[in-house]
């Protein structure tokens, strides 16, 4: 059965690939995008969301512009070194013709979730500022939201923005704290799983045997991303952090999930933004989420490339 989803996002190279995967997946109906500051500022994340939908002939999908700052923290270091100054690597996308909806992302999320209780699955693939404020403004969404899938956190794996913290959580740890303790049914896809999903140059070359603006976008957008991974993390490839979240719908069998009580450090010290599991159940608190601690990463990459090939064949250069 098709699942109706909204993606809250800070595009962002891997965020952009997530939109394309959602559009290429018959199991998913992409209802809307809500944007937030994160990898790059809100003007660019909102523009990129509109521009990538236009590239994929999906401008009918609404985009709602969200928060430009975290709840408490000062804006984190820019993600430009990873995602490029545009936020989509070396890809060059025309200025989008479409505009975001009038509503702020917080109000858009509240309206859509309350209008159809238990129908919408929300994916957060950036800092959770919009969702945290929506929960505070209208707590009823915690009962109406069908499920929340989060790309974020690092449980047994080290962090990627500090030794202990993953980028999306570290960028707004207070928002994560509100969401983690909201009672919403949560599936967490942390770095423990996402770092096992490495897209390689060979994968991108295979995709580009198809002459399509989609294939070229994947090549150009990931070019900066791959440069970063080579230079700073010693990988030949790049981790598809955000796209992997969609496997919770399109290929749940590739994950190894455990149920745990997960919390986030908001103390402001050296471990600020650290996400940790109560593996020994010392707090006696019930599990508050399902966590993907392992994944068949290569199976996901194969699925991703196959679906990008299908999307590329369907979207050719306009004559």
Residue 96 lies near Ca ion (rule: CB under 5 A):
no
User: Site residues (CB under 6 A) for ligand RIB?
Assistant: 10, 12, 14-15, 38-39, 125-126, 151, 160, 166-168, 241-242
What residue 31 binds from Ca ion, ligand RIB, none (CB within 5 to 8 A, per partner kind)?
A: none
Instruction: Report the site for Ca ion in 15-54 (rule: CB under 5 A).
Output: 15
Give every CB contact of residue 132 below 8 A, 6+ residues apart in sequence: 71, 172, 174, 175, 176, 178, 179
User: Which residue, 180 or 225, is less far from Ca ion as judged by CB?
Assistant: 225
Nearest alpha carbon to residue 162 among 243, 268, 36: 268
Side-chain-side CA neighbours of 200 within 13 Å: the count stands at 9
Residues assigned a catalytic role: 241
3 state DSSP class of 146: coil
166 binds, among ligand RIB, Ca ion, none (CB under 5 to 8 A by kind): ligand RIB
Which helix or strand (DSSP H or E) is residue 173 part of?
A: helix 173-180
Q: Which CB, 88 or 109, lies closer to ligand RIB?
A: 88
Among 66, 89, 126, 243, binds Ca ion (CB under 5 A): 126
Nearer to ligand RIB, 190 or 309 (CB): 190
- Rounded to whole angstroms, how far apart are CA atoms 19 and 88? 13
- The answer to whether 125 contacts Ca ion (rule: CB under 5 A) is yes
Nearest distance from residue 89's CB to Ca ion, in Å? Answer: 13
**CA dist list (Å): 264 to 47, 154, 239:** 31, 10, 23
Contact 32, 146 (CB under 8 A): no
Q: Toward ligand RIB, which CB reaches closer, 53 or 240?
A: 240
CB of 278 to ligand RIB, least distance (A): 23
List of residues 6+ apart from 100 with CB closer than 8 A: 35, 46, 50, 62, 63, 64, 65
Q: Which of 3, 5, 8, 12 binds Ca ion (CB under 5 A)?
A: 12
203 binds Ca ion (CB under 5 A): no
């Amino acid at each position: 059965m098709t699942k109706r989803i909204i993606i809250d996002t800070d595009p962002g190279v891997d965020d952009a690939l997530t939109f394309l995967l959602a559009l290429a997946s018959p199991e998913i109906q992409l209802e809307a995008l809500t944007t937030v500051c994160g990898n790059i500022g809100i003007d660019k994340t909102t523009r990129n969301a509109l521009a990538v939908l236009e590239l994929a002939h999906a401008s009918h999908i609404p985009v709602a512009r969200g928060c430009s700052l975290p709840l408490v923290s000062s804006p984190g270091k820019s993600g430009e070194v990873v995602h490029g100054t545009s936020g989509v690597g070396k890809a060059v996308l025309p200025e989008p013709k479409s505009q975001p909806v009038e509503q702020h992302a917080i109000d858009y999320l509240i309206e859509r979730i309350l209008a159809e209780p238990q129908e919408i699955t929300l994916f957060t693939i950036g800092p959770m500022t919009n969702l945290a404020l929506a929960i505070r403004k209208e707590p009823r969404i915690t009962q109406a939201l069908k499920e929340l899938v989060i790309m974020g956190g690092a449980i047994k794996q080290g962090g990627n923005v500090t030794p202990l913290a993953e980028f999306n959580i570290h960028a707004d740890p207070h928002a994560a704290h509100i969401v983690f303790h909201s009672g919403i049914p949560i599936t967490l896809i942390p770095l423990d799983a996402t770092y096992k999903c490495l897209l390689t140059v060979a994968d991108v070359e295979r995709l580009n045997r198809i002459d399509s603006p989609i294939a070229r976008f994947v090549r150009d957008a990931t070019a900066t991303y791959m440069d970063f991974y080579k230079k700073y993390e010693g990988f030949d490839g790049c981790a598809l952090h955000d796209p992997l979240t969609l496997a919770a719908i399109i290929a749940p069998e590739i994950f190894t999930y455990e149920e745990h009580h997960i919390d986030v450090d908001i103390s402001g010290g050296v471990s600020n933004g650290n996400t940790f599991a109560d593996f020994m159940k010392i707090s006696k608190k019930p599990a508050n989420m399902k966590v993907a601690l392992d994944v068949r990463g290569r199976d996901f990459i194969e699925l991703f490339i196959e679906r990008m090939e299908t999307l590329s064949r369907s979207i050719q250069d306009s004559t």
